Amino acid sequence: MADPRQTLHDLIRRFGFSLAQDPQKCDRVMKVLCGNSGAQVSAIVAAIEDKIPTELVQNQSNWDDIRRDLIYRFKENRKLNHELALWTVDTWGLVLGIWSQSDLVRSNPGEGSSYLIRNHLQPVETTAKYANLSEWNKPPVYDLPPTPPSAEIHPYEFTTAQVSFQGEVTPYKRDSPGGKFIEISLDLPIDEIKLEMVAMPGGIFQMGSPEYEEQRTMDEGPQHWVTISPFFMGRYQITQAQYERIMGVNPSCFPGKNHPVERVSWDDAQEFIQRLNRISGRAYRLPTEAEWEYAARAGTDTAFSYHGGVTPEVANYNGNSPYGTLPKGEYRTQTVAVDSLYPNPWGLYHIHGNVWEWVEDIHHDHYGGAPTDGSAWLTGDDSRKRVVRGGSWHFGAKFARSASRDWYYQIFRSGYYGFRIALSG
């Protein structure tokens, strides 16, 4: 299993200082990654509960005294042995950049791991890049997929939105986490939306819904931690123009070249992808269910990636069936253009609503035994039953939640169902 100190270092770089203020989240992730390192992981989490990371970043000088006091207090409060208390405080100081390993020197070489801070340590502003709390508000550094052959990755800015628990919508601008590329082999007229693929950073997330989430269903649990490798996800649902260009037909109920193609089965989506791959020379595929939810959440753990909820101003669903206490809204009775309304915080449009999206996986009644590496779950149950995600224009808001899932037979076609594509990193 992974080393707890190195693991914490990597997680802090990914999640930011918020992890140092959330003992429950830190505990869950560390135990998944570090396995049997029980005492050290428990001590790391206990230090958060005792606010040791916060005190470290807020103090500016007298590091010997501060460190000595924190070790003593932590040891006494938690009834720990001196070695573990010292290791824990030093671990937090190291991963937060307060001090480096070279700043720690043995006070007595014969006493093993007893250390003092070198006297020359300067205040935190000049010695620790990440010790200033304001630094943690900057976007984290992501592991991103490599650029595919013959593709050009371009950064871009987009406007997403935050929805309050009262339904108030606040737009704000964001930079893409890793840029995008356009599939140039699918040559489309200038007035038709191009096939754009957005880089999704690798990471760890908790898949499924918590038991307290309103209007959840039993097949959304149990929650489990999943590791996702970097990949590319379609910025938009596949459009009617794109589908017709590849397949030669447009089966959709709601005509519009920039609307999502619908009335397509899982089998139809696979045929489209096979033909696209022959043209492009790439290995496009449907996203796995884990990848889909990871991309939909975009780093959030709320029911919707817009944080407080969802309204028809940001997503296309049946506004007569709102989520929770949010007010009713517009019911458009059909699909809308794939580049309309607000994308989620990672720049994906209509990941909530518009059309249900086929994913690769077979449906199971619960997540017991599900893969934890982000791969598709293709064993067990009925292989004809394929998962759909995201809700649609006809369904209520609860079906557009990030964790919501349903299934249909792979040959089933309806005006509610479409898809977007993915590409491995």
Let me know: does 12 contact 20? Beta carbons within 8 Å.
Answer: yes
Please tell me the total number of residues recorded for the chain in this structure: 425
150 belongs to a structural domain: no
What is the reported pLDDT for 36? 63
Q: What tokens were used for 365?
A: 């009644």
Same domain, 133 and 200: no
Same domain, 186 and 325: yes
What is the reported pLDDT for 102? 64
Find the angle CA(345)-CA(402)-CA(22) to the nearest 5 degrees: 70
Q: Label residue 141 by pLDDT band (50, 70, 90).
A: very low
Q: Three-class SS of residue 406?
A: strand
| Angle in degrees, 0-180, between the axes of helices 82-95 and 38-49, rounded to the nearest 10 | 70
Neighbour tally for 13: CB within 10 Å: 15
Q: Label residue 322 by pLDDT band (50, 70, 90).
A: very high
Tell me the average pLDDT of the chain: 87
Distance CA 170, CA 176 (A): 18
Q: What tokens were used for 229?
A: 């490798």
Side by side, which strands form the sheet with 422-424? 180-182, 196-200, 231-234, 422-424
Residue 149 has pLDDT above 50, yes or no: yes
Same domain, 107 and 199: no
Alpha helices (H) in 79-128, listed in sequence order: 82-95, 124-127
For the segment 334-381, what is each residue's pLDDT rounded down to a tens digit? 999 999 999 999 999 999 999 999 999 999 999 999 999 999 999 988
Boundary residue ending a domain (85, 109, 137): 137
Distance CA 405, CA 386 (A): 10
Q: What tokens were used for 324?
A: 């929770």
Same domain, 231 and 346: yes
Residues 6 or more apart in contact with residue 10 via CB below 8 angstroms: none
- Amino acid in the structure at residue 91: T
Residue 35 has pLDDT above 80, yes or no: no
Same domain, 195 and 93: no
Same domain, 181 and 123: no
26 belongs to a structural domain: yes
Distance CA 22, CA 28 (A): 10
Distance CA 244, CA 261 (A): 9
149 belongs to a structural domain: no
For the segment 240-269, what is each residue's pLDDT rounded down to a tens digit? 999 999 999 999 999 999 999 999 999 999
For the chain, count helices (H), then strands (E).
Answer: 10, 14
Let me know: does 128 contact 97? Beta carbons within 8 Å.
Answer: yes
User: Percentage of residues in the chain with pLDDT exceeding 70?
Assistant: 88
Same domain, 321 and 217: yes
Same domain, 100 and 183: no
144 belongs to a structural domain: no
Let me know: does 389 contact 398? Beta carbons within 8 Å.
Answer: no
Residue 123 has pLDDT above 50, yes or no: no
For the segment 378-413, what is each residue's pLDDT rounded down to a tens digit? 998 899 999 999 999 999 999 999 999 999 999 999
What is the reported pLDDT for 259? 99
Boundary residue ending a domain (137, 171, 198): 137
Residue 121 has pLDDT above 50, yes or no: no
Q: 239 has which bridge partners? A: 260
The distance from CA 28 to its chain's CA centroid, rounded to whole angstroms, is: 16
Same domain, 174 and 68: no
For the segment 278-319, what is each residue's pLDDT rounded down to a tens digit? 999 999 999 999 999 999 999 888 899 998 899 999 999 999
Nearest to 297 by CA among 363, 370, 376, 213: 213
Q: Give the largest Cα separation in the chain, rounded.
A: 79
336 belongs to a structural domain: yes
CATH number at residue 321: 3.90.1580.10
Radius of gyration of the CA atoms of the chain, in A:
24
Same domain, 106 and 42: yes
143 belongs to a structural domain: no
233 belongs to a structural domain: yes
What is the reported pLDDT for 339? 98
Q: Label residue 61 by pLDDT band (50, 70, 90).
A: low
| Angle in degrees, 0-180, between the axes of helices 23-34 and 38-49, rounded to the nearest 10 | 170
Same domain, 77 and 193: no
Burial category of 391 from C-beta neighbours within 10 Å (exposed 0-12, middle 13-18, buried 19 and up): buried
Q: Provide the number of structural domains found in the chain.
A: 2
Let me know: does 12 contact 129? Beta carbons within 8 Å.
Answer: no
Q: Three-class SS of residue 288?
A: coil
Q: Residue 158 phi/psi, 5° resolution?
A: -145, 165
Q: What tokens were used for 3?
A: 């080393």
Boundary residue ending a domain (90, 109, 137): 137
Distance CA 341, CA 5 (A): 43
For the segment 185-231, what is each residue's pLDDT rounded down to a tens digit? 888 888 899 999 999 999 888 899 988 899 999 999 999 989 999 99
What is the reported pLDDT for 68? 87
The pTM of the whole model exceeds 0.85:
no
Cα dihedral across residues 104, 108, 109, 113: positive or negative:
negative
Which residue range forms the structural domain that includes residue 97?
4-137
What is the reported pLDDT for 252? 98
Same domain, 341 and 221: yes
Q: Three-class SS of residue 175?
A: strand
The secondary structure of residue 236, as a DSSP letter, is S
Q: Label residue 110 by pLDDT band (50, 70, 90).
A: very low
142 belongs to a structural domain: no
Nearest to 143 by CA among 216, 231, 217: 231
